Amino acid sequence: MGGEVAAERKAKYPKAEHLLIYTRGQVKELLIQGRMSLTVGGNIEVLEAFWHPEVDQTETSFTPPLLVYADLIQTGSLSKAGLNAVTRMLAGDMKADGVLVNSICPGWTATDMGGAGGRPVEEGADGIVWAATLPDSGPTGGFFRDGVPLPW
């Protein structure tokens, strides 16, 4: 399973409202076995797994952590608290692989989305560059702006 359910099971947040099921079999067969019917706008989505089974050998009931994160972003299910919980979850899952995972806030930045009055884009990007170039011994599982930890 992926998205909200995987995040809820692993991080105890967010409360799942949408069930995303990945299957290695045929989607049609799963729908028949589960006696499910197709409903536009329903809260269950069934997709064929597209990654190699060896990608995540720790828990076969979950999609790989990076896909859970991507599912949450794609569905718009990440509030600030949810982003923090998933960041910690993903940081824990990726630590053994030597991957650092942090959330970065660029601050109010003068972009089309941020509007006039924010700080220059270059300043907002500095914190992102800082996180992307951390040494292997750098922090993981945190929330930062300009390289400074922010409270959750």
Pick 46 or 88 by higher pLDDT. Answer: 88
pTM over 0.75: no
Query: Is the predicted pLDDT of residue 20 greater than 60, yes or no?
Result: yes
What is the model's pLDDT at position 121? 92
pLDDT tens per residue across span 45-72 = 777 777 766 655 555 556 676 676 666 6
99 CB neighbour count, 10 Å cutoff: 14
Three-class SS state of 45: strand
Three-class SS state of 60: coil
Pick 126 or 41 by higher pLDDT. Answer: 126
Query: Is the predicted pLDDT of residue 93 greater than 70, yes or no?
Result: yes
CA dihedral 138, 139, 141, 143 (to 10 degrees): -120
If residue 121 lies in a helix (H) or strand (E), which one and from where to where?
helix 121-132
Span 112-124, average pLDDT = 88
Q: What is the three-state SS of 82-116? A: HHHHHHHHHHHHHHHHCCCCCEECCCCECCCCCCC
What is the model's pLDDT at position 120? 92
Q: Locate 8 and state its tokens.
A: 């809820």
How far, in Å, CA of 108 to CA of 141, rounded? 22
pLDDT tens per residue across span 24-48 = 777 777 778 877 777 777 777 777 7
